[in-house]
Amino acid sequence: MTATLIWILVALVAVGLYLSWTAGRLDRLHARIDAARAALDAQLLRRASVAQELATSGVLDPAASIVLYEAAHAARQAEEEQREVAESELSQALRAVFADAHQVDAVREAPGGEEATLELAEAVRRVPMARRFHNDAVRAARALRRHRKVRWFRLAGHAPFPMAFEMDDEPPAALIERAG
């Protein structure tokens, strides 16, 4: 009888330790999502700021400046629910403005254009990486949260279900080629 109670106690302790480890892992994944989201937000803000600065610098033609400025301003001011759409529209505006390699060359030849072009190219390169890191963390947390043990024992607590950030983040090819 005593040996049976000891084995039951050992099994309960082992299950408790396993559940505690799983809850800790889930907590670390949620912290990773928060850090990745902060990095993504920083990269999106940097891209919008550089695009807005370039639009107001006078090195683009007036029509391109207006399109780029409005898209960058909308991306910076977007509410959380509209953020993905606004950032996708900024990506589309960047591709429209820098669709032609001659436009990139014209911007680079303007005073201060070389630095602005390099800074914008760097900003548009970093956004897809930051989004990929965020979405990978979300994918890992979702996979763990789907396990029965996590649902049955409510190991996720009251943490909201993580959502991926889906947007069009394809950079303008001419900008990347010419600035790189």
pLDDT tens digit sequence for 68-81? 999 999 999 999 99
Measured CA to CA, the distance from residue 160 to residue 25 in angstroms comes to 16
pTM for the model: 0.91
98, 101, 107, 109: CA torsion to nearest 10? 170
Domain contains 111? yes
Domain contains 112? yes
Assess whether pLDDT exceeds 80 at residue 136: yes
* 1-5, 27-31, 35-39, 169-173: least confident range: 1-5
Nearest in space to 106 (alpha carbons), one of 61, 48, 50, 55? 61
Tokens linked to 124? 């548009």
Domain contains 138? yes
Domain contains 63? yes
Domain contains 50? yes
Domain contains 74? yes
Q: What is the pLDDT of residues 102-126, one digit of tens each?
A: 889 888 898 888 898 999 999 999 9
Contacts of 71 (CB under 8 A, 6+ apart): 51, 86, 89, 90, 92, 93, 94
What percent of the chain shows pLDDT beyond 70? Answer: 99
Measured CA to CA, the distance from residue 66 to residue 169 in angstroms comes to 21
Measured CA to CA, the distance from residue 166 to residue 117 in angstroms comes to 26
Domain contains 24? no
Q: What is the pLDDT of residues 18-60, one digit of tens each?
A: 999 999 999 999 999 999 999 999 999 999 999 999 999 988 8
The pLDDT score that the predictor gives to residue 65 is 94
| Domain coverage including residue 145 | 46-179
| Ramachandran region, residue 52 (left: φ > 0; alpha: ψ -120 to 50; beta: rest) | alpha
* Mean pLDDT estimate for the chain: 93
Measured CA to CA, the distance from residue 92 to residue 102 in angstroms comes to 18
Domain contains 150? yes
37, 34, 141, 82: CA torsion to nearest 10? -40
Number of domains composing the chain? 1
The pLDDT score that the predictor gives to residue 180 is 61
